[in-house]
Structure 1
């Protein structure tokens, strides 16, 4: 090995000078942009005590006022530690991107042989020549994987925001329902007490009195359930917002937001899902990165290891001899077919999964929009027809009672039915806001959860009026 290889050292120096480096924000700017487009709020990585302190100060400021759906989302994005923990995957992906953009460290060998008055020294510096040749492609693949990690981080943030909105609407509705079930309980107590007095006076049958007592028992049980459901819904909101300690005393509004005048009617919803949904974009990026990786595998299937470097040898009493050394692993037993077959299988797997995600996204958007429109129509039906009708019936019964055409028990039974109707209207209004949240998630975020059940309110049945 007497030929010199003078160009290798300058080339290595040039490569080392152009090494890939870490981004100043760890890729958080892109994650924040994607999240803001879908939730109206950005998100940041909290990597220092100053970041955590600033977030805590903003959370405390937001919690000094009664929560709204929008402020609940902001608190969740600032304060949810589980989301911050998931952002560690972003740092891992960036580290892999930087590593892929740098040439592997050179290896140095040194040999010393001596004896019989003679000394021989071998020195060599080896560089990964195959890594140098494939560096651009490997860097591109790592960059796509980093972008996919950014999409995943944004998807996690959108999921946190959607959970916060859903939990907020559920907590407000549950709190509101407790008030109405308390009214049912008060009416049942009054009816039962009056029935007991009339029974003692001989003006009421035992059967009618027991019916009123049974209704009171049912009303008591339903109120207990409603109170627990309110606690459970509030605790779900607490978890979504990541709250503890003094922050648990936050206040909720008394009622849900009013329905909009008209429902949303987005155009080309299926195409929006294919263009904007984060899980679809992730699947596409994964397929692209896998395809690029497959091209790299095919190009190197017959070359497993290729190294080149500078070498010299010196022997006592003789001039130093310089040259270069190339090390190549010969494909005598493994021709690279296994690696190529594996890469092709992984690529086809990514292609089929991308197609599945796209088909599911289109279907989920159609289902979510159907649930949204149904929830809107039901909530509007209760607001504009059922509740006003029940109020008119109540007013008419009050006139009949004042004219001594109806008994006090008929009046109490009607009051219980009216409250039950209002409770059903609250649940329908809650279902609308939950469906609206899931529609937005299905359009631009990821696969939504199970659509809210839109059934009748569960309340104590009204006891039959006594005559």
Structure 2
């Protein structure tokens, strides 16, 4: 189920040779620049929190096996003495109702095991989506930090040039102060960008379950390019109704509760029934053999409350199933809107905004080469591009995150789609 929805397999790591095999595979995957698929693969293999949730499968499987066995018999021994006589009683009891209901209990535990598998797949798919989003955040943050470093270097050169020109009397104090202020702002922005890159990187490291030398990830310098066209169609609602794991989980829970309701009605009056062999021996008398039946009499509790509780739990599961379907359809529509909007915005910046800024920069460079403008006018135009470049990186990152959210809304357990920013994250520096 996980492989069909993420393209990556998941396995439960057991102590011994399997642990060494997983460690070797993780080291091999981390030996080259990380991709989104590689990050997901490492996270599914190596994250200890995910492995803990997968251990629930072993618990459910043990319950399933135990449900197919008869309950252990009970043995009682009694000894009474008085005068010259000693009486000894021995008995062994078997749970008859437990024996008769083994097929029903096995069926119920089998369904619980199926629920455990669905829950494990849901946890894995959710973790894969979180890892993919953390990967794109980390790459984008690193790309922004590298660009901020270039901006700071340019601002430092501009401030140094302004300082020397002011010392020569060819630059005003106001213009020099503006250059120095821009350099100071660029230095502060670089510090923030580097911190944000560290935060995003560490979040990815945690989701991948890495520590020690393995935490030294090698990320690419830039985000993946946009696809030529959107890859997910508008029929995603219908796909979600068939593939969403939380909907399948809710349906299985309703079916299991209905089966449990039938068992509650079957054992409403005969709740505890034990039968077994017993014998008694007395001093100077032959041993007596027989059998014993123990039955709980429904004098006070006739089982009506148990049946009413089971019916209420069943109706609860039915309503949860309906609510899961309604929520899933809404989440898919929301995620698809974010996906298409982020794709259109990223393509708009790639095809329109950034090329226009580059064209303006080329024209300014021509004028500078023709000695029609000075160096500071050229630098001022370069600063005006900073916001466009940063926003373009963010738009590209938002597309890949929105694509991950939409896949999760269709195949996994869904989640809230991101909101589009109302305006750019920063204002372009003013030319002077």
* Per-residue deviation, 1:380: 0.6
Q: How many Å separate the matches in 2 of 1:456 and 1:179? A: 23
Q: Match of 1:30?
A: none
Do structure 1's residue 132 and structure 2's residue 99 form an aligned pair? yes
Counterpart in 2 of 1:256?
223
What are the Cα deviations for residues 344-374 of structure 1, in whole angstroms up to 9, with x where unaligned? Answer: 2222222222222221111111111111111
The answer to whether structure 1 residue 284 and structure 2 residue 223 are counterparts is no
Q: For residue 75 of structure 2, give the secondary structure of its aligned residue in structure 1.
A: strand
Q: How many Å separate the matches in 2 of 1:271 and 1:96?
A: 35
Q: Give 1:248 shift.
A: 2.2
More divergent stretch after superposition (194-203 vs 218-227): 194-203
Aligned positions of 1:330-345 closer than 5 A: 330-345=297-312
C-alpha distance in 2 between matches for 1:183 and 1:163: 30
Q: 1:109 aligns with which of 67, 76, 92?
A: 76
- 2:381–2:431 Cα contact (<8 Å) kept: no
Does the Cα contact within 8 Å between 2:384 and 2:430 map onto a contact in 1?
no
Asked if structure 2 preserves the Cα contact closer than 8 Å seen for 1:283 and 1:353, the reply is yes
The answer (yes or no) to whether the contact 2:240–2:329 under 8 Å persists in 1 is: yes
Verify: 1:434 aligned to 2:401, yes or no: yes
Among 376, 384, 395, the residue aligned to 1:409: 376
RMSD (Å) for aligned C-alpha atoms: 2.0
Greater mean alpha carbon deviation, residues 296-305 or residues 360-369: 296-305
Matches of 1:272 and 1:327, distance apart in 2: 55
Task: Decide whether aligned partners of structure 1 residues 452 and 236 sit closer, same or farther in structure 2, where only a CA change above 3 A counts.
Answer: farther
Task: Tell whether the 8 Å contact from 2:39 to 2:131 is kept in structure 1 after alignment.
Answer: yes
Q: Report the counterpart of residue 334 of structure 2 in structure 1.
A: 367
- Other-structure match for 2:145: 178
2:56 aligns with: 89
- Alpha carbons 2:5, 2:411 under 8 Å: kept: yes
Q: TM-score, normalised by structure 2?
A: 0.94
Out of 194, 203, 208, the position equivalent to 1:236 is 203
Aligned-pair distance for 1:223?
1.1
> Which residue in the other structure is 1:169 paired with?
136
For 1:215-230, what aligned pairs fall within 5 Å after superposition?
Answer: 215-230=182-197
Asked if residue 141 in structure 1 is aligned to residue 98 in structure 2, the reply is no
Q: 1:314 to 1:246 in 2, by over 3 A?
A: same
In 1, the alpha carbon distance for the partners of 2:65 and 2:201 equals 44
Q: 2:296: which partner in 1?
A: 329
Partner deviation per Cα, 1:311-332 (whole Å, 9 max, x = no partner): 3344455554443322111111
- Deviation, structure 1 residue 296: 0.9
- Equivalents in 2 of 1:348, 1:304: separation in Å? 24
* Contact 1:106-1:125 at 8 Å conserved across structures: yes
Deviates more, 1:392-401 or 1:114-123: 114-123
Q: Is the 8 A contact 1:211 1:463 kept in 2?
A: no
Q: Give 3-state SS (helix, strand or coil) of 1:333's partner.
A: coil
TM-score normalized by the length of structure 1 = 0.87
CA distance in 1 between counterparts of 2:76 and 2:20 reads 51
Change (3 A) 1:91 1:396: same
Alignment partner of 1:421 out of 388, 401, 424: 388
Task: Tell me if 1:294 matches 2:261.
Answer: yes
Do 1:151 and 1:282's aligned partners in 2 also have CA atoms closer than 8 Å? yes
Closer/same/farther in 2, CA of residues 86 and 149 from structure 1, 3 Å limit: same
Deviation, 1:393, is 0.7
Rounded Cα–Cα distance in structure 1 between residues aligned with 2:37 and 2:54: 23
1:239-293 CA distances to partner (integer Å, 9 max, x unpaired)? 1111111112221111111111110233532232222112222222112111111
Q: Distance in 2 between matches of 1:247 and 1:191?
A: 40
1:224 deviates by 1.0
Quote the Cα distance in structure 1 between the aligned partners of 2:58 and 2:39: 27
Change over 3 Å in CA distance of 1:181–1:457 after alignment to 2? farther
